[in-house]
A and B are shown apart, each in its own frame.
Chain A
Amino acid sequence: MATNFFENQDRARKKTSLLVFLFAAAVVAILATLYALAVLVVGFQGQDPSTGAMRWNLDWWSPELLSQATLFTLFVVGGGSLYKIAQLRAGGSVVAEGLGGRLLHADTLDPNERKLLNVVEEMAIASGTATPPVYLLDREVGINAFAAGFTPNDAVIGVTRGCAEALTRDELQGVIAHEFSHILNGDMRLNLRLIGVIYGILIIGMLGYWLLRSAAWSGAGHRRNNRDNSGAVLLAVGFGLMVIGFLGTFFGNLIKASVSRQREFFADASAVQFTRNPDGIAGALKKIAGLAAGSRIDHPNAPEASHMFFGRALPSLFATHPPLEERIRRLDPTFDGKLSESVSEPAAAGAMSGFAAGPAGAAVNQIGAATSAHVDQAARLIASLPSEVTRAAYETWGARAVIYSLLIADEDPTRRQQLEWLRKYADDGVLDETERLIPMVGGLGATQRMTLIDLVIPALRELSQTQYRAFKDNVGALVAADRKIDVFEWTLQRILWQHLAPVFETVRPTRTRFRSLARVAPACAVVLSTLAWAGARTRTAAESAFARGANDLGLSDLRLIEPEQSGLDDLDGALALLDGLAPLRKGELLHACAVAAGADSEITDREVELVRATADSLGCPMPPLLAGQALV
């Protein structure tokens, strides 16, 4: 299944070329229409007063007019698209807030919000990534949801109020699973590009509308018998631009439909595997069909993002989503078109054919392809954490103490030093809270600790810039107290900064820069060395583990790097570089990492978590291992 995830990411990248081509075609069409309009306007000679006929002097070839029209088109369309793309660089939160979304806080007391957050949390842990920010679209009564962002690390999820209130937990899970599959399949980046590109095309229509209104405004003050045609010209131009605008919308929706429609079916199919109850997503679709508002989005900014939603947000000639009935039927062949309250029967075997979850293969093959078994396990993992600890984890103040408590050592000189540091530099009460939590987190296993870190991220996102700096310094000091970095400390920092950096530091979305592993061979060596050393007790064991990884990668010339040179900074640098690898190569690299980590006979939880953190860093989250599952 892993090949599916990386292939999907690859495919999504290729779709971008199609997008660019269609966009270029649209611009040419718009330019042609604009030019024709310009010729008409310039050639209009007024009305013959006696006959009332219009006189034209049309000169269809005018290079000067053409160049002006080209400049204008480039200016507006290019400018518009660039503006939108630049605006979206900040990530999914821009889209969410632009649609009227309100960020939900992890320590909310509202039961509907809490239910929604719990569902999102389970899905995130099951996929092997941190809980993304969740935005609630308070004023939307339709049932709909979306996911936006460039990578799984900076994704956000938006849900309408109608969705949060009308759906059962299972149905909500189906919708969220659908959105998560978009996140994990690379659709989001494509969708964001779509918004940017189409915005430029839509702008001309908006400009025309504005001109029309201005013409009507100035025309109202005109005296009669005035031979001045300027008002009429303005009117004509405005009208003409609006026509072009319709053309723009036509092309815009055509582009959206060709690029995103098939992906909706695919996301539905992925979601079925991902949820506990496959009827959930069908149930949600049925509820949309049965609701008067359906999946409608009322916000004025909806048109530019209509392709990103779970259900059809706006009526349009080229539908961005497949028909509702067809989607329902693919999930539930017994659907008879009636939208009455049907008791959800256990899914017939036929409905599941093609989506049947096979026997759980190796974990590394389930990257981006979590199943309902993972969701069950995620729920169990979250429930296994002490409630006092999760309560602290959900609020920004206590979340820091949770992380500190995970870093406090057991042995004395280090422990005393760390607590002393907190006493001197942490805010009031934080030391006490940390000491209170230490015994509670002491008994947690490696996977539970990773789960806890994933749960803490949303609250930490709400730190202020200064508080974040202080937190980062404290974490650094606690880790440095024993003068060496162990696997856990590395993994913890990796996950924390990976998910928090997009919020607090400017992070450029990564482009694919490397298509072959040979070009990044040194970075691969650093990563494989770390994994080899982490699991080995002797040098020979490390060398053998490294060799197996390097062979798996097809780079047998690589040599094991000394631990002094594969330290934390080197690793961070290497992973930053490797983030620019093409998706299929990333898959190969992660497979090799798993081979290197699993080379010795005994693979510890800590090694597994190390591999998972590496995968998460590269934007390819790996679900936690199921009981008895092999890593590779």
Chain B
Amino acid sequence: MIAGLVLLGIVLALVAFVVGIYNRLVALGNRYKNAFAQIEVQLKRRHDLIPNLVETAKGYMAHERETLDAVISARNQATAGLERAASDPTNAEAVKGLGSAEGALSGAVGRLFAVMEAYPDLKANQNMMQLSEELTSTENKVSFARQAFNDAVTAYNIYRQSFPTVVLAGMFGHPSDAALLEFDSEAIAEAPKVSF
């Protein structure tokens, strides 16, 4: 009877330990999924500002068709990428895709603002000033929300990879690391073209 109780105690302790691991994985997973919802709100705001920006700019920069179109198309790509990632933030590929789409959008918008330097009238336009102010503020919030998301993802990944969690993670439905959200911009690699 005593031996049975001791065995019972050990087994219970083991079970509790394993269950604790499962619960923590679930909790950390939920954390980063919630954090994604925050980014979604800010990115949507960013995407919604772009068309206004382009419309205002078109009035003054009619000849810069290429630049303006590039912004709109990058924005549409980003919206699509956001939808895909939002439907399943655990999908590492979708998250990485979102990252590069947003990076491309940042690049396109950056080029637009660089070009705008040659149009002082546009820069002084009230609407444009307000829009770029809102855009900057939104960029700050996006960056902040992205940092929170990456923090949560890192916490999840670190725990998932640690021993002994890593042994059980696959069985518990957490087979792989979650992806960080990086807005890598290919535009940075390009040297800005200056025309005299």
Contacts and interface: CB of A to CB of B under 8 A. Distances in A.
The judgment on whether A and B are partners is yes
A397 B11 contact: no
17 contacts: A71-B5, A79-B16, A83-B15, A87-B19, A90-B27, A97-B26, A103-B34, A108-B41, A396-B38, A397-B141, A397-B144, A427-B143, A429-B136, A462-B35, A464-B35, A465-B155, A467-B144
Contact of B140 (A86, A109, A429): A429
Contact of A79 (B15, B20, B137, B152): B15
A67 B4 contact: yes
A466 B1 CA distance: 50
Contacts of B140: 397, 427-429
A467 B37 contact: no
Interface in B134-182: 136-137, 140-141, 143-145, 147-149, 151-152, 155
Contacts of A428: 140, 143
B30 interface: yes
Given A90-B27, A466-B151, A397 B34 contact: no
B12 A82 contact: yes
B136 to A, nearest CB: 7
A210 interface: no
Nearest to A98: B26
Contacts of A71: 4-5, 8
A235 B4 CA distance: 26
Interface string A86-102: 11001000100100000
Contacts of B130: none
Given A67-B4, A105-B38, A464-B151, A83 B144 contact: no
Interface residues of A, number: 32
Contacts of A67: 1, 4
7 smallest beta-carbon distances between A and B, as pairs = A464-B151, A464-B148, A429-B140, A397-B141, A397-B144, A466-B151, A71-B4
A105 B41 contact: yes
A395 interface: yes
A75 B8 contact: yes
Interface in A44-86: 67-68, 71, 74-75, 78-79, 82-83, 86
A109 B26 CA distance: 28
Contacts of B5: 71
B52 interface: no
Contacts of B30: 97
B16 A83 contact: yes
Nearest to A64: B1
A396 B145 contact: yes
B127 interface: no
